[in-house]
Amino acid sequence: MSGRNSAVGGVVSETRLTVIEMIEKVSLGTGSVVQAFEAARGLAARGHQAILVTRPDPVMAGRCQQSGVEHIAVPLRHELDLRSMRRLARIATERGVDVVHVHKGIAHSVALGATFLGGHFGLVVNRGVPFPLTRLNAPKYRSRRVDRVVVVCEFLKAIVVASGRIAADKVAVVYAGVDLDRFDPARVTPSRVRTELGLAPGVPLVGVVGIRPEKGWTVVLDGFARVRHEVADARLLLVGCHDEAVRREVEARVAGAGLTGTVNVLLTRSDIPDVLAACAVVVDPSFAAGITGTIREALALEVPVVASRVGGNPELIEDGVTGLLVEPGDGAGFAAAITRMLVSPDEARSMARCGRDRVRSGFSTVVRMDRLEGLYRQVAREAQGR
């Protein structure tokens, strides 16, 4: 029985909720899809009725079935998809849905439209990009039919509140979570990755995940000669090329920098825990970010991190305590921070241990689910009273 159906005296019971997590995308290589899927799986594990609504996809349907999550396929073709709006309104009514949590723009518009077509539910919307709201999109977030806007860090909350003229208490910070069982230093096999790369024991490996312009990987590549001047056997690992064509372009850039033989370039990987654990330091030189997943995951594995002082990264990394922060685009600064981690391994390990403690206390999937569950209950009670 859903929370709405089990209401007593107008108050949603603290037993079972029916929640839809909704996103138009389906690739589990996309962070927002992973977070939506993990939220649904976490709710199901806690005894709630969890439904994941996406575009039709047999792989996603199979993953949901394995995880105790109901999967419902809805077209979600575009933001004015009336057919999908009607379908969602009908699903919400038939299932007694308490809360719909949308994770991307098309899902947001469709769910908002469904509330005008008979869908009665609490509506929670994500805002995951570090850009100001505009006159065109701010009304979608400011609408009275939106109960909460969820952001992944305080930095984004400030942007949403200021640019969208949205009340601060309508915007909730829920940090994205790391699965501490999957990213557990005791459960990874870094030697397998190091053998694949042909690294001798003790050779320090510097890892960067994400080969897109905004990820800033060229900043580290261009400054890596400085690192090798101080640590002659250091190697650089660039992970996340989408295809072989991109990989060849990156390798050409490596050759142009005179670093052939000292840099490994890999496609997107599914064994990220082992890849990160193989590194002596993981670097995130992004130019813009909420809080980069790579640094959360590396710290969970007790791997030292160096990251850009952008977005919400300082909310996770306290400079000199849980990692090192560098101004974005500062190649010399990144080279110096990486070198510091490599030549001072005791200090680096100390920061990494503090980092894992920080992830455990505030950035794990368990903590995220505690916060989401509490938020859903509150929103469901408010929706019950409307």
Rg (CA), the chain: 22
Helix (H) or strand (E) holding 44: helix 31-45
pLDDT at 45: 95
Kindly indicate the confidence band of residue 2, based on its pLDDT and cuts at 50, 70 and 90: low
Buried b (16+ CB within 10 A) or exposed e, 106-130: bbbbbbbbbbeeebbbbbbbbbbbb
DSSP class per residue in 70-130: EEEE----STT-HHHHHHHHHHHHHHT--EEEE-SHHHHHHHHHHTTTT---EEEEE--SS
pLDDT at 14: 67
Average pLDDT over residues 3-21: 63
Domain ranges, ordered by start, for the chain: 18-177+365-381, 190-362
8 Å CB contact between 178 and 359: yes
In eight-state DSSP terms, residue 199 is P
**Common-topology check for domains 18-177+365-381 and 190-362:** yes
Residue of 200, 356, 190 whose CA lies nearest to 277: 190
pLDDT at 11: 40
pLDDT at 359: 97
Asked if pLDDT for residue 319 goes beyond 80, the answer is yes
pLDDT at 28: 81
8 Å CB contact between 205 and 278: yes
Alpha carbons 190 and 116: distance in angstroms, whole number: 52
- Write the CB contacts of 214 (distance below 8 Å, at least 6 apart in sequence): 286, 287, 288
- On average, the pLDDT of the chain sits at 94
Asked if pLDDT for residue 6 goes beyond 60, the answer is no
Q: What is the pLDDT of residues 102-141, one digit of tens each?
A: 999 999 999 999 999 999 999 999 998 889 999 999 999 9
What's domain 190-362's architecture? 3-Layer(aba) Sandwich (3.40)
Cα 240 to its chain centre, rounded Å, is: 16
- Structure-token match 């990160």, residue found: 276
Asked if pLDDT for residue 13 goes beyond 70, the answer is no
pLDDT at 8: 36
Helices (H), ranges, 242-344: 244-256, 272-277, 293-300, 313-316, 331-343
CATH of 18-177+365-381, one of 1.10.357.10, 3.30.460.90, 3.30.460.10, 3.40.50.2000: 3.40.50.2000
Q: What is the pLDDT of residues 266-317, one digit of tens each?
A: 999 999 999 999 999 999 999 987 888 999 999 999 999 999 999 999 999 9
Strand residue runs (E) in the chain: 18-22, 49-54, 70-73, 99-102, 122-126, 148-151, 171-173, 205-209, 235-241, 263-267, 281-284, 305-308, 324-326
Average pLDDT over residues 207-214: 95
Residue of 315, 303, 380, 308 whose CA lies nearest to 345: 303
pLDDT at 370: 96
Please report how many Cα atoms fall inside a 13 Å half-sphere around the Cα of residue 91, on the Cβ side: 25
Asked if pLDDT for residue 7 goes beyond 70, the answer is no
Pairing of strands 18-22, 99-102: parallel
Q: What is the pLDDT of residues 28-65, one digit of tens each?
A: 878 889 899 999 999 999 999 999 999 999 999 999 99
pLDDT at 29: 74
- Structure-token match 């320090």, residue found: 204
Average pLDDT over residues 323-330: 97
Buried b (16+ CB within 10 A) or exposed e, 279-297: bbbbbbbbeebbbbbbbbb
- Poorest-confidence range of 6-15, 175-184, 311-320, 364-373? 6-15
Backbone torsions φ then ψ of 175, nearest 5 degrees: -65, 140
Torsion of CA 88, 90, 96, 97, to 10 degrees: 10
